[in-house]
Amino acid sequence: MAMMRTFVFLLVLACAMCGCSMSASTAAAEQGVATFHSQLDAGQFAQMYQASSDGLKKITGEQEFVAFLEGVHGKLGATRSSTQKDWKVNYLTRGTFVTFHYKTVYANGDADEEFVFLVDGQKALLEGYHMNTTSMH
């Protein structure tokens, strides 16, 4: 009986710790989305690349990243509003990854966006960005 209570206590403690960690991770990543849109609107594309994760930099060069975001901003314009649709947290050996899906309204159209952040403490580094829109013709 005492062993069962110990097990239950440890299980509850582990769940509580994961919940706190998840909350901190999602909060950092939510701030990352806000920063992304703010920097996109300000045309700070190179700074966005420099602040991204090593994982993103390994698969995407700076010129390609900057050109893509210049195209997005040039066609869609300024961010008007953004609504989170869903999210998930993955705890992997490489780190904690938070994925968000947003519906974003820009001045010249709407987009479905996916953000993937590598969260390190209170800092969220952009690991991936994907966007679907019919407004970039």
Report the distance separating Cα 113 and Cα 79, nearest Å.
12
Beta-bridge mates of residue 97: 90, 118
pLDDT over 60 (residue 4): no
Interval 82-128: pLDDT, tens: 999 999 999 999 899 999 999 999 999 999 999 999 998 889 999 99
The two most distant CA atoms of the chain are separated, in Å, by 67
The class (CATH top level) of 2-132 is alpha beta
| Position 137 confidence tier, pLDDT thresholds 50, 70, 90 | low
CA distance 128 to 57: 10
- Amino acid 2: pLDDT: 55
Amino acid identity, position 99: T
- pLDDT of 24 > 90? The answer is no
**13: buried, middle or exposed (CB in 10 Å: 19+, 13-18, 0-12)?**
exposed
